[in-house]
A and B are shown apart, each in its own frame.
Chain A
Amino acid sequence: MNEQEHIDKLMLELRRGTITIGVLSQLFSPQYGYSLVTMLDEKGVPVEPGTLYPLLRRLEKQGLLDSSWDTNETRPRKYYVLSEMGKRVYDQLCREWESIVKSMDDLINTRGDENIGDG
């Protein structure tokens, strides 16, 4: 494996963890799968449909999302929206995320000092 492949693999793992928060953040109003794909893509968080669709179903199964079929449009679409529990979970996740960002910032920014201290 060369350097780039290592980076790609690590990035994949890193993204995987953030996708769920990203998805939940966009579901305060009902969305169907593909509208979410475009929305997230526009905001710089590209998600493959093949990943997003199963994820939505899983979140629904876990009770974080509610779903309903809309059959009025040209084709039937399944709309997902945050459930009450989903909203609470999302709020908590955001707080956790912010604390992770803060800690990581600390770690990354103090790296140089530590090294000098150790060296």
Chain B
Amino acid sequence: MEMVDRYIYAVTQKLPQSQREDIAIELRGLIEDMLEERVGNGEIKQNDVEEVLLELGSPKEMAQKYRGTKKYLIGPELYDTFLIVLKIVLISMGAGLGIVFVIQSIVNPVEILDHFVGFIVALVTSIPQAVGWVTLVFAITEYYGGVKTKDLGLEKTWHPSMLSVVPDPKRRIKRSEPIVAIIFYVIVMVWFAFSSDFLGVYVFDGEFKEVVPFLNEDTFSQYMPFVLLLFAIFIVKECLKLITGKWTMKLMGYTVLINLIGIVVVSYLITGDNFWNPTFMSGLVQAGVVEEGTKGYNTVETIWENSTRIIVILLIVGLIWDSVEGFIRARKK
């Protein structure tokens, strides 16, 4: 009879705590009844037990019937979008890592094998991460979205008058917009993560010579988590756009919030002392791009020294524009 215990355990394990004991007793009674009918007062053989359990079906199905409803991590409504986003993220991540690999091979062709191994390792380590994060975001959306409409009874009786207006073409969000944005973010993210030292000025002199990096390689690793997190929330923003499909006040709210976080984080990062490469100018001189004291040198130096301010201003303008655009389009009836 140990097999019966196992069966009952397997079924009740998948059920809510409160019902387990009751159903366990009931199931045991049922199985004993079925066995009794099969063998009468004779001895119960292993074979009989197996047949009875087979008749009852797998514990999984049994538990499902007791539960009545199916449970989803990501339900059918979100599943298509989930697949799209996952594909986009994986493909653009692969592309980003591919680009990194190509650049590394150009910069340092001798170690191409090492670069290739690095490329494979990066793929293997980042694919599970990407899948995990995308799934987490969608699971959270599912959890809150699902609870709101069904379980709390907030769903009112439906009436045709409740149908929302077909969104003005100007309010609709073309699927291509968030998709392009996600591809862009993922590729840049991968770049930052795997070869931040290749973000810089590429010096060619007939053939490739060197890279004068923009960023401070010594301290960048401290900033890395913030940068990646920032990209991650921007990707979440694009996912929300993709899911909603049109500008709404709620979507606008999220957009504004995420953009604000973006402005704060970026401002904090790039105005810090250690973010930029402190030897950028001398690096350029050494590479022979500009000569000290010339007009060109002064121009580049001015741009370089003001770059922090320029980037912050561009970013703020861009993100504010994004929010304002959302606001205008969300208000269109």
Other than the given A32-B29, A76-B25, 6 more pairs (CB < 8 A) read A50-B62, A53-B26, A53-B66, A75-B28, A75-B29, A75-B32
**Please, what's the 1-or-0 string for A47-76, where 1 marks a CB less than 8 Å from any CB in chain B?**
011110110011000000000000000011
Q: Are B66 and A34 in contact (CB under 8 A)?
A: no
Q: For this complex, into which size category does the number of interface residues on chain B fall?
A: 20 to 34
**Please, what's the 1-or-0 string for B49-70, where 1 marks a CB less than 8 Å from any CB in chain A?**
0000001110001100110100
Q: Are A34 and B27 in contact (CB under 8 A)?
A: no
Residues of B86-118 at the interface with A, using a CB-CB cut-off of 8 Å, are none
B-side contacts of A48, CB under 8 Å: 55-57
Q: With an 8 A cutoff between CB atoms, is B217 at the interface?
A: no
A58, B57: Cα distance in complex, Å = 19
Closest CB pairs A-B (n = 6) = A34-B33, A54-B65, A54-B66, A50-B57, A50-B56, A75-B29
Q: With an 8 A cutoff between CB atoms, is B34 at the interface?
A: yes
Using a CB–CB distance below 8 Å, which chain A residues touch chain B? Answer: 32-34, 38, 48-51, 53-54, 57-58, 75-78
- Chain B nearest CB from A51 CB (Å) reads 7
A2, B28: Cα distance in complex, Å = 38
Name B30's contact: one of A34, A51, A57 (CB within 8 Å).
A34
A-side contacts of B26, CB under 8 Å: 33, 53, 78
Q: Are A78 and B56 in contact (CB under 8 A)?
A: no
Q: Are A78 and B68 in contact (CB under 8 A)?
A: no
Q: Are A54 and B29 in contact (CB under 8 A)?
A: no
- Chain B nearest CB from A12 CB (Å) reads 14
10 contacts between A and B (CB under 8 A): A32-B29, A34-B34, A50-B57, A50-B61, A51-B65, A53-B26, A53-B30, A54-B68, A75-B28, A78-B29
A-side contacts of B61, CB under 8 Å: 50
- Among A34, A58, A76, the most chain B Cβ lie within 10 Å of the Cβ of A34
A-side contacts of B65, CB under 8 Å: 50-51, 54
Given contacts A49-B34, A49-B56, A50-B56, contact A34 B29 (CB under 8 A): yes
A96, B241: Cα distance in complex, Å = 48
- Chain B nearest CB from A119 CB (Å) reads 38
B-side contacts of A49, CB under 8 Å: 30, 34, 55-56
- Chain A nearest CB from B46 CB (Å) reads 20
- Chain A nearest CB from B44 CB (Å) reads 14
Name the CB-closest residue of B to A33: B30
A38, B33: Cα distance in complex, Å = 11
- Chain A nearest CB from B158 CB (Å) reads 23
B-side contacts of A57, CB under 8 Å: 23, 66
Name A58's contact: one of B27, B34, B56, B68 (CB within 8 Å).
B68
B-side contacts of A38, CB under 8 Å: 37
A78, B66: Cα distance in complex, Å = 16
A54, B25: Cα distance in complex, Å = 13
A-side contacts of B57, CB under 8 Å: 48, 50
B-side contacts of A32, CB under 8 Å: 29
A-side contacts of B22, CB under 8 Å: 78
Q: Are A53 and B25 in contact (CB under 8 A)?
A: no
A34, B25: Cα distance in complex, Å = 13
A-side contacts of B37, CB under 8 Å: 34, 38
A23, B274: Cα distance in complex, Å = 76
- Chain A nearest CB from B23 CB (Å) reads 8
A44, B287: Cα distance in complex, Å = 93
A78, B34: Cα distance in complex, Å = 15
A58, B68: Cα distance in complex, Å = 8
B-side contacts of A78, CB under 8 Å: 22, 25-26, 29
A34, B27: Cα distance in complex, Å = 10
Name the CB-closest residue of B to A69: B25
- Chain A nearest CB from B297 CB (Å) reads 77
